[in-house]
Every structure is written in structure tokens, then in C-alpha cells.
Amino acid sequence: MGPSHGAASNLAVVPPDPPRLTDVMRERLRLRRASERTAEAYTGWVRRFVRFHRGRHPREMGETEVSKFLSHLATERRVAASTQNQALAALVFLYAEVLETPFGWLSGLVRAKKPHRQPTVMTREEAARVLRVLAGAPRLIALLMYGSGLRLMEACSLRVKDIDFGGRAVIVRHGKGGRDRLTMLADSVANELVPHLAAVQALHRRELAASRGYVMLPDAFVRKSPSAARDWRWQWVFPATRGYRDPATQRWVRHHVHESAVQRAVAAAARAAGMTKRVTCHTFRHSFATHLLEAGYDIRTVQELLGHRDVSTTLIYTHVLNRGGRGVRSPADLLRLEDSDVPSANPHAPQGDMLTGSVSISRGRVVDGRLLKAPWRHELRRRL
């Protein structure tokens, strides 16, 4: 016999577990249309903040604890100013948007002042040396960063439909700040992309035959067009070497190449090329902007190609130009040194002091590279 109604009424109703704080924070960030990388960074800072205070809940803490954590990052961890400001932004979002506590004290927190640093720029010859060492997908990604001004993640996450070979253009989707933009596609890069995409398409066909070939789609596009997950146009230009099983759909999905693989390849290529500069992936983007300005292109055009919101961000590249409105030639480059101005290698020639450069001659005096014999004073007085 089944349980009676009285026994059923005595069963205690177990309330569901409250959602975790980081899950609530991710949900609020999605409502603000923040990227997944931003959500990962913000929740990571909240976890570090809680661990620093030995597991205390953020509701039990306030301005004092936040200030101590930020001071710890600056004085003991010695993080960069941008890293400290990112931690502050995460905690401001936590208290203001997630915990919804009075946050008047948050406005009093001082953000770290970012130092003004000059970007590292390679010459054309140096960029060619590094690119010659690279091979495979890292080489093509570096070519796109140098030839199109793409950021590392923008190049890694390109899809086949974003490459316009006919218009020689690259469409950047959901760039920094969630903005799209259009930039150039160099002819040399397009020529190398054609055989690369042929190999990627052959891989995609093999995966379709094995009932795989899925990729992740942005936002809710998978509900609008479910078949697009296996469409060739939506495939990654630079797919990862291995796929994974999506826990939500149980499908085998292939992600794009991870940015760390490209970073390691560029660092190794810079060492192999004998570079003394610190060359990173972003150095190719710095060099792209600087070389365009050196070629005389308008700074507003370069701003649009880079995707900068404000032209003041693009102005940093005018500080490293070798010529232009702010360019100054060294006085040493304006000298016309004659052969007689260079110290002679003849051991019998009169030798001067290496520090003062003076030459003592018993029978005359050297003036403007000429030996004036006695009476040299009369000759010098006549010439002056």
C-alpha cells in the first residue's frame, strides 16, 4: 500500500541550496553583456579576495578589507597598476551590482596610476626575421597581427566567414568592448591563407563524416540556426588540434587554437632570431601601427584599423616614429665628417690625448684637419 496522506504531509520540504556568489556574479555580468573572459577575471578576483581574508563572506567585509587587499596586491604581490585596477573593478561590481549594498565608500577608493610606457616596436627587418622563424598557424596569426593590426584573441577566434578575399578585408567580430570593425587583408597574407584554409576544410570534411565537426556559436545563435554549428562558414580559421565533448549537448566540439600556444611560439621565434627586444604577440600590432604612420597614413585611419575608441590611444605611436612632426634628427647625423677628421691609424702620425682630443706638434698646429706650420699664429689670424 502506498503512503497515506498524513504521512506525506509529515515529510519535510528541503529548500534548494542558494546559488553560489560567483554564479550570481556571472549571471549579472551576462546581463551587462560582458564577455566570458571578463566574467572569468572578475570571479577570479572575488575568489582571491575571499581567500585573502580566510574565507569570510564579502557581506561581512567592507572598505577596510577591500583597502587591505588592494594594498597587499600593490606592496607584497607588486602587481601592475592595470592588474590592481582590474581587481578594484571586480570588487566594485561585486558590492554594487551583486550584493547591492550601500557603496558610497567605493567611490573613495583610489585607482592605481598607470605609468606611461613606450610600446616596443620592431623595425621591418626585425619583424621579417621573427616571421621567418615561425611556421604553421602561429606564423599566419603573427602575419595577421602585423599585416592587419589584429589583437591576439581577435586573430585566434577568426571564423571562415570573416575573411573577405575578394574585398581584401578582415571583419573583426566582438572585438575589445564588444565592437565590430573592418580592417585590411594583405595580399601576402591572403596568399598563405588559401592553402591553410584548404587543409582546414579537409579536416572539417573528415569530422563531418565521423558525425562531428561542431563549433560553439555566439550568444543564442544556436537556437536561431542549429545547423550553423557544422556549417563551413562558421568554422574556425585556426582550429585547435584536439576537440572536446560539450557537457551540455554531449557533442564533440572543436575550439579555436589557444592563445598560449601562439605566445610560446612567438617567444621562441624571437629568441631564435636573436632579438634583444622583448617581442610579444602585441609587438606585431604595435609595429603595424607605427609603420603605417611612418608611411604617411592619417592617424584617424590607423585608429579605425586598430579599433581604438579614442584617438588619444593611437597617439602613443607618434612618440616612437623616426620621422614626422615630432621627429628630430640628431646633430651627430648632420655632421659631415671628412677622412682627415678621423684619428689616423698611422703609428708615426702625431697622437692626441684620447680624452681631450688635443694634438701637440713641435713645428706647427693642426687646424680644421690641416697642419699649419710656423708661423702658425699668423696663418690662423689671417683665416679668422
- Does the annotation mark 348 as catalytic? no
Cβ 214 vs Cβ 229: under 8 Å: yes
Q: Quick one: fold of 21-108?
A: DNA polymerase; domain 1 (1.10.150)
Task: List the chain domain ranges.
Answer: 21-108, 121-323, 356-384
What local confidence, expressed as pLDDT, does residue 37 receive? 85
What local confidence, expressed as pLDDT, does residue 371 receive? 47
Please list the rounded mean pLDDT of every run of 10 residues in the chain (384 residues).
52 68 90 86 94 92 89 88 90 89 65 75 94 95 94 95 93 84 92 95 94 85 83 95 86 92 96 94 93 88 87 77 51 58 49 44 46 48 48
What local confidence, expressed as pLDDT, does residue 363 receive? 46
Cβ 350 vs Cβ 342: under 8 Å: no
What local confidence, expressed as pLDDT, does residue 131 receive? 95
Task: State if pTM tops 0.75.
Answer: no
pLDDT in tens, 15-63: 667 788 888 999 999 888 888 889 999 999 999 999 999 999 998 998 8
- Does the annotation mark 285 as catalytic? yes
| Assigned CATH class of 121-323 | mainly alpha
- Does the annotation mark 129 as catalytic? no
- Does the annotation mark 176 as catalytic? yes
- Comparing CA positions, the residue from 230, 208, 202, 206 lying closest to residue 217 is 230
Residues in the chain: 384
Of 151, 256, 286, 291, which residue is the catalytic one? 151
- Does the annotation mark 277 as catalytic? no
What local confidence, expressed as pLDDT, does residue 318 receive? 76
What local confidence, expressed as pLDDT, does residue 103 receive? 63
Other C-beta atoms closer than 10 Å to the C-beta of 290 total 22
- Does the annotation mark 308 as catalytic? yes
Of 173, 176, 196, 212, which residue is the catalytic one? 176
Of 181, 285, 286, 291, which residue is the catalytic one? 285
Of 28, 159, 204, 308, which residue is the catalytic one? 308
